[in-house]
A and B are shown apart, each in its own frame.
Chain A
Amino acid sequence: MLILECPYCGVKAEETELAPGGEAHLKRFGPGSPDEDFEAYMFARKNPKGVHFERWRHAYGCGKWFLAARCTATLEVFGTYPAQTTEPPADIVAKIMAKRPDWKGYK
């Protein structure tokens, strides 16, 4: 039962208030795209033991989708931020780098 702070309404939301949406920062590939790109978009998921970027919806709260950076092994949360972005914010990346020097980056 994680707690994630919704970056929209500021509520520290229990997992039961949230709906999970899988890996964040996927790039959509539409009609005509190569098989490899579509496969990566549709099926290839990182599932790391460590730093992970995830999509969550504050489903039983404000209804907004947001993104979370957390460690799947220790459950440490590095930060949450609005979904309207294509890459993790610099401050969260810096925080992760400080705590996980071996981290290879979100891609």
Chain B
Amino acid sequence: MSTRLAKGGRLIDRAAPQDFTFNGKRLRGFKGDTLAAALLANDQMLVGRSFKYHRPRGIVASGAEEPNALVNMGEGGRFEPNQRTTTTELFDGLTCTSQNHFPSLEFDIGVLNNYAARFLPAGFYYKTFIHPRAAWKHVFEPIIRQSAGLGKVPKDRDADRYEQAYAFCDLLITGGGIAGLQAALTAGKAGKRVWLMEQTAHWGGRAPVDGVEIDGTPAEAWVKNAVQALEAMENVTMRLRCMAAGSYDHGYVLADEKVADHTPGDGRPRHRLWRIRAGQIIAATGAIERPLSFAGNDIPGVMLAAAMRDYLVNWAVAPGDRTVVVTNNDDAYRTAIALKEAGLEVPVILDARATVTGDLPAKARALGIRVEAGKAIAKVKGGKRVTSVAICAQAGQGAVLEEIACDAVAMSGGWSPVVHLWSHCGGKLNWDAAQAHFAPDPARPPLNHDGSALVVTAGAASGVLLAGDVLANATAAAGGDVAPVASGPVEAAMEPVWVMPQGATIDLRMKMWLDYQNDVKVSDVQLAAREGYSSVEHTKRYTTLGMATDQGKLSNINGLAVLADSLSSPIPQVGTTTFRPPYTPVTFGALAGEARGDIFQPLRQTPIHAWHEAHNAYFEPVGLWRRPYCYPRPGETHEQAVHREVVNTRTNVGLLDASTLGKIIVKGPDAGKFLDMLYTNVMSNLGIGKCRYGLMCSEQGFLSDDGVVARIDEDTWLCHTTSGGADRIHAWMEDWLQCEWWDWQVYTANVTEQFAQIAVVGPNARKVLEKLGGMDVSKEALPFMQWADGEMGGFRVRAYRISFSGELSYEIAVPASEGRAFWDALVTAGAEFGMMPYGTEGLHVLRAEKGFIMIGDETDGTVIPQDLNLGWAISKKKADYLGKRGQERPFLASPDRWKLVGLETLDGSVIPDGSIAPAPGTNANGQRNTQGRVTSTYYSPTLKRGIAMGLVKGGLSRVGETIEMTRLDGSTLQVKIVDPVFYDKEGEKQNV
């Protein structure tokens, strides 16, 4: 069983017990425990089930690489699945439950998949996706949906808050082991602005556990001194519980600081996401121990050797009473020695190497531990816990020589440098055959903007594993030359072991796990190779090797070694899969930061917004603007409100907040020439005081934006754009002025937010303005399509006689600061004339009744003005304008193009949005031909029937024809093609 030892544990405080629950069971640990350590201290080795076969899963590792021990943490608003117990700090009151089982962890019927393993081979998903289809739908999918899923999805709103912060430094060092600390000391003394971060809650990394001595003192003391020295440096910033998730272009690093995971509800943000810009990055990220592939290597109780040492030394937890150690290197002997010295039994060390020399094996032997060279594990026996191991020769096929009772196995297959931050932004790797791992190639680093090395590795991340080499390497990485001296035993070379025993039979290989979480075995990778998967990236996806939440931290090298062997290719030729951020998962809350709820995104509000809110406006988003869609009265639906607003505008007078309309001033000696290039028609000859509707096209000739242009004075024009288009069009103008016609003297200013603009619309519009008093707004003084500056009700105004409704209409601009007051004055003045505000939907209905197009409804980036019968707004005289050459392309002159028409049903009903007009035959892809579609469709309260606009092949030449249209649900309706102007075809009402 696994237990807490009576003494020891460098990280725990026995005076501070912490109570927690696992699957409802009340357990106790100590302050300083990880959740994994506390579970093991309570003999809770079985912590979960695997994804596919639901096999019992125990704790394998002690850090971020843990593939098995994931739990659902917390409850309610603090529930979060897939939390690694090995990196979760224990706190009093912690609750967690295990994952992937039904109905319980101890008894899981999903384990039946285990016995069906031969029906769930590599590529199972792909194979069943293909055929038979019915089987997928009725058999596989229901089973997979029932059994799949890592953890549960949180149901409640996240109770915590998250924040993001920016930081800048000369040097970012990730990893707070002795390499990171030494690099920080070196760079800190040199005066660099240094950031040093460590993902765990402690500085020092492995060295204190491994008993390293540095400059004659134990590593523990050296670490303490180093931390003190760094804390005293003003130019060094240190962060614990901070994981560098990814490195990106030009020294951009995202790091997730777990501020309050271990103190939930204390008011601090749960995580802080650092967005760091570093001049250079030193990755002192250490190395991860590899498992060995032997049969039964996934049975709870089988652990990485160094992890077992961590539990013993850091938390005084013995994962087993009798531990068999199996290794291909000297480092695992440290575990055997530590276990023995703690009074635990180590019945045998199985060393796959034929000869075993070196200081550590000598010490183990001296302690009386039996060391077997050239031996391997044939099979681990046990169900939910290891009960024994069968021993065989590494060189053979697995004939059992002896069976040894034990309750734990410590395995070590060698160490792989953590190269993620190096590789994220393009650093290349070399295969180190002696140590059987990929290590960064210093000659091919990721580059910074100036071509220098953006990332440098230090310590074990560089592929150097002995403490003395680590310190020398880290010192050099930070530009120093005097490294501390570390002493330690001489270690003999490791020998790669990818399958144990070497000639293992298929029944053994089917029990050798590579990826514990996703249940990928040696036999699966070999099957993939036989089926033709020679690319490691393809094999990964086919077998799901390395695709679990641990992203293959343990499985990748072992998996690709098996693949390489199956393909008879050298390992470096097979290569690695791509390392992608994040290093360990980052919770969505941290990535979202404060951007949630009301401050999800910045909102734009007009100066009149508060009035709209006070008058029950129902808002709709228009870009970042929030505009009133309608103003429902008590008991009214939105539809009823829109109809009332439209009818009132046509019969009395309506008031519209048009402040969002884009307003761009274009000024300068060449402004007229510039606008003639920008618009399809001529703007340079527009008279001062006059307004003209204009169209802008992309260089391809497609309609991009429209609006009314007003000539202000000799060299000033004011261009109105669509509400959503103001910023885009302003940028478009600047692009042409700065990059193409930079010698033209033109100045532009986007003054959209400097003015409130209010439309007073309807037969009574003039009466309202006259009631307000001031400037002459008569037909004679201010005719249609003209503007005038003046004073109105005491306000400084600019009044435009323009209309998007077909009614008598004034759009009146006032300084933004006076917008609300002016609106209030209009509301008061309009009361006796039946004035009501109307919203954007009313605006849409009014314009559709008049057949006015709307950018984004009638246009979609493939429509030219000519398609919309707007040829009249295109100058034939101008030699050039943006889009003219594009419009010269022959296909745009085709008579087959879809053109704007009006559409109405035979019974007056409304054509559903999204309806299309099918045509006989099929196209080259075998799809049904079409001849048109609806672009805008409304109920017209003015005409009391449905009206619509659409684009139909042949356009207006087909007026009078009845065609069939198909609704989205596939049903059909008969539609008549009509003129798109449904109301006041002569345009008399707006010109009064």
Give chain A's interface residues, CB within 8 Å of chain B. Answer: 1-3, 14-15, 19, 21, 28-33, 38, 42, 55, 57, 59, 63-65, 74-77, 83-84, 99
25 A-B contact pairs sorted by A residue (CB < 8 Å) = A1-B249, A1-B250, A1-B252, A2-B249, A3-B250, A14-B277, A21-B735, A28-B699, A28-B740, A31-B884, A31-B885, A32-B888, A33-B885, A42-B700, A57-B735, A59-B731, A64-B738, A65-B735, A65-B738, A65-B739, A75-B425, A75-B448, A76-B447, A83-B742, A99-B451
Contact indicator B739/A3 (Cβ below 8 Å)? no
**Complex interface: chain A residues within 8 A of B425 (CB):** 75
Nearest-Cβ distance from residue B693 to partner chain A, whole angstroms: 23
**Complex interface: chain B residues within 8 A of A21 (CB):** 735, 739
Contact indicator B277/A3 (Cβ below 8 Å)? yes
Nearest-Cβ distance from residue B688 to partner chain A, whole angstroms: 29
The 4 closest A-B pairs by CB, nearest first: A1-B252, A84-B742, A65-B738, A74-B447
Give chain B's interface residues, CB within 8 Å of chain A. Answer: 248-252, 277, 425-426, 447-451, 699-700, 731, 734-735, 738-740, 742, 879-880, 884-886, 888
Q: Known contacts A15-B249, A42-B700, A75-B449: does B884 contact A30 (CB below 8 Å)?
A: yes
Nearest-Cβ distance from residue B646 to partner chain A, whole angstroms: 39
**Complex interface: chain B residues within 8 A of A19 (CB):** 731
Q: Known contacts A14-B277, A33-B885: does B738 contact A76 (CB below 8 Å)?
A: no
Contact indicator A31/B880 (Cβ below 8 Å)? yes
> How many angstroms from the CA of A41 to the CA of B250 in the assembled complex?
31
| Other A-B pairs, 7, CB within 8 Å; known A15-B249, A33-B885 | A1-B249, A3-B251, A19-B731, A30-B884, A38-B886, A74-B426, A75-B425
Contact indicator A30/B447 (Cβ below 8 Å)? no
Contact indicator B885/A38 (Cβ below 8 Å)? yes
> How many angstroms from the CA of A14 to the CA of B739 in the assembled complex?
21
**Complex interface: chain A residues within 8 A of B734 (CB):** 57, 63, 65
> How many angstroms from the CA of A74 to the CA of B886 in the assembled complex?
36
> How many angstroms from the CA of A84 to the CA of B838 in the assembled complex?
47
**Complex interface: chain B residues within 8 A of A32 (CB):** 885, 888
Contact indicator A84/B880 (Cβ below 8 Å)? no
Nearest-Cβ distance from residue A4 to partner chain B, whole angstroms: 8
Question: Which of A42, A64, A75 contacts B249, CB < 8 Å?
Answer: A75
Nearest-CB residue, chain A, relative to B879: A31
> How many angstroms from the CA of A21 to the CA of B886 in the assembled complex?
19
> How many angstroms from the CA of A15 to the CA of B886 in the assembled complex?
31
**Complex interface: chain B residues within 8 A of A55 (CB):** 739
> How many angstroms from the CA of A64 to the CA of B252 in the assembled complex?
24
Nearest-Cβ distance from residue A8 to partner chain B, whole angstroms: 10
**Complex interface: chain A residues within 8 A of B886 (CB):** 38, 42
**Complex interface: chain B residues within 8 A of A28 (CB):** 699, 740
Contact indicator A74/B252 (Cβ below 8 Å)? no
Contact indicator B880/A75 (Cβ below 8 Å)? no
**Complex interface: chain A residues within 8 A of B700 (CB):** 42
Contact indicator B738/A42 (Cβ below 8 Å)? no
> How many angstroms from the CA of A77 to the CA of B884 in the assembled complex?
36
**Complex interface: chain B residues within 8 A of A29 (CB):** 885
Q: Known contacts A31-B880, A42-B886: does B447 contact A83 (CB below 8 Å)?
A: no
Nearest-CB residue, chain A, relative to B452: A76
> How many angstroms from the CA of A32 to the CA of B248 in the assembled complex?
46
Question: Which of B426, B449, B451, B884 contacts A3, CB < 8 Å?
Answer: B449
Nearest-CB residue, chain B, relative to A29: B885
Nearest-Cβ distance from residue A32 to partner chain B, whole angstroms: 8
Contact indicator B884/A76 (Cβ below 8 Å)? no
Contact indicator B451/A83 (Cβ below 8 Å)? no
Nearest-Cβ distance from residue A83 to partner chain B, whole angstroms: 5
Nearest-CB residue, chain B, relative to A28: B740
Contact indicator B880/A30 (Cβ below 8 Å)? yes
**Complex interface: chain B residues within 8 A of A74 (CB):** 426, 447, 451
**Complex interface: chain B residues within 8 A of A15 (CB):** 249
**Complex interface: chain B residues within 8 A of A77 (CB):** 449-450
**Complex interface: chain B residues within 8 A of A57 (CB):** 731, 734-735
**Complex interface: chain B residues within 8 A of A65 (CB):** 734-735, 738-739
**Complex interface: chain B residues within 8 A of A75 (CB):** 249-250, 425-426, 447-449
**Complex interface: chain A residues within 8 A of B740 (CB):** 28
> How many angstroms from the CA of A99 to the CA of B451 in the assembled complex?
9
> How many angstroms from the CA of A31 to the CA of B879 in the assembled complex?
7
> How many angstroms from the CA of A38 to the CA of B701 in the assembled complex?
12
**Complex interface: chain B residues within 8 A of A3 (CB):** 249-251, 277, 449
**Complex interface: chain A residues within 8 A of B738 (CB):** 64-65, 83-84
Nearest-CB residue, chain B, relative to A59: B731
Nearest-Cβ distance from residue A34 to partner chain B, whole angstroms: 10
Nearest-Cβ distance from residue B538 to partner chain A, whole angstroms: 22
> How many angstroms from the CA of A55 to the CA of B738 in the assembled complex?
11
Contact indicator B450/A76 (Cβ below 8 Å)? yes
Contact indicator B250/A42 (Cβ below 8 Å)? no
**Complex interface: chain A residues within 8 A of B249 (CB):** 1-3, 15, 75
* Max count, chain A CB within 10 A of own CB: residue among B252, B447, B449: B449
> How many angstroms from the CA of A2 to the CA of B449 in the assembled complex?
8
> How many angstroms from the CA of A83 to the CA of B449 in the assembled complex?
20
* Max count, chain A CB within 10 A of own CB: residue among B277, B451, B739, B742: B739
> How many angstroms from the CA of A15 to the CA of B277 in the assembled complex?
12
**Complex interface: chain B residues within 8 A of A84 (CB):** 738-739, 742
> How many angstroms from the CA of A19 to the CA of B728 in the assembled complex?
11
**Complex interface: chain A residues within 8 A of B731 (CB):** 19, 57, 59
Nearest-Cβ distance from residue B542 to partner chain A, whole angstroms: 28
Contact indicator A42/B699 (Cβ below 8 Å)? yes
Nearest-CB residue, chain B, relative to A75: B249
> How many angstroms from the CA of A30 to the CA of B426 in the assembled complex?
41
> How many angstroms from the CA of A77 to the CA of B449 in the assembled complex?
5
> How many angstroms from the CA of A84 to the CA of B736 in the assembled complex?
11
Contact indicator B451/A31 (Cβ below 8 Å)? no
**Complex interface: chain A residues within 8 A of B879 (CB):** 31
Nearest-Cβ distance from residue B37 to partner chain A, whole angstroms: 38
> How many angstroms from the CA of A60 to the CA of B195 in the assembled complex?
28
Question: Which of B250, B447, B739 contacts A2, CB < 8 Å?
Answer: B250
Nearest-Cβ distance from residue A41 to partner chain B, whole angstroms: 8
Nearest-CB residue, chain A, relative to B887: A31
> How many angstroms from the CA of A21 to the CA of B732 in the assembled complex?
11
Nearest-CB residue, chain B, relative to A43: B700
Contact indicator B888/A76 (Cβ below 8 Å)? no
* Max count, chain A CB within 10 A of own CB: residue among B277, B738, B879: B738
> How many angstroms from the CA of A28 to the CA of B735 in the assembled complex?
13
Nearest-Cβ distance from residue A22 to partner chain B, whole angstroms: 11
Nearest-CB residue, chain A, relative to B253: A1
**Complex interface: chain A residues within 8 A of B451 (CB):** 74, 76, 99
> How many angstroms from the CA of A68 to the CA of B450 in the assembled complex?
13
> How many angstroms from the CA of A95 to the CA of B705 in the assembled complex?
42
Nearest-Cβ distance from residue B281 to partner chain A, whole angstroms: 14
> How many angstroms from the CA of A55 to the CA of B880 in the assembled complex?
24
Nearest-CB residue, chain A, relative to B451: A76
Nearest-CB residue, chain A, relative to B454: A75
**Complex interface: chain B residues within 8 A of A83 (CB):** 738-739, 742
Nearest-CB residue, chain A, relative to B166: A14
Nearest-Cβ distance from residue B244 to partner chain A, whole angstroms: 15
Contact indicator A1/B248 (Cβ below 8 Å)? yes
> How many angstroms from the CA of A65 to the CA of B738 in the assembled complex?
7
> How many angstroms from the CA of A36 to the CA of B753 in the assembled complex?
43
**Complex interface: chain B residues within 8 A of A76 (CB):** 447-451
* Max count, chain B CB within 10 A of own CB: residue among A15, A19, A64, A76: A76
Nearest-Cβ distance from residue A103 to partner chain B, whole angstroms: 14
Nearest-Cβ distance from residue B165 to partner chain A, whole angstroms: 15
> How many angstroms from the CA of A77 to the CA of B448 in the assembled complex?
8
* Max count, chain A CB within 10 A of own CB: residue among B249, B250, B699, B888: B250
Nearest-Cβ distance from residue A62 to partner chain B, whole angstroms: 11
**Complex interface: chain A residues within 8 A of B426 (CB):** 74-75
Nearest-Cβ distance from residue B30 to partner chain A, whole angstroms: 42
**Complex interface: chain A residues within 8 A of B252 (CB):** 1, 14
> How many angstroms from the CA of A72 to the CA of B879 in the assembled complex?
39
Nearest-CB residue, chain B, relative to A8: B738
Nearest-CB residue, chain B, relative to A33: B885
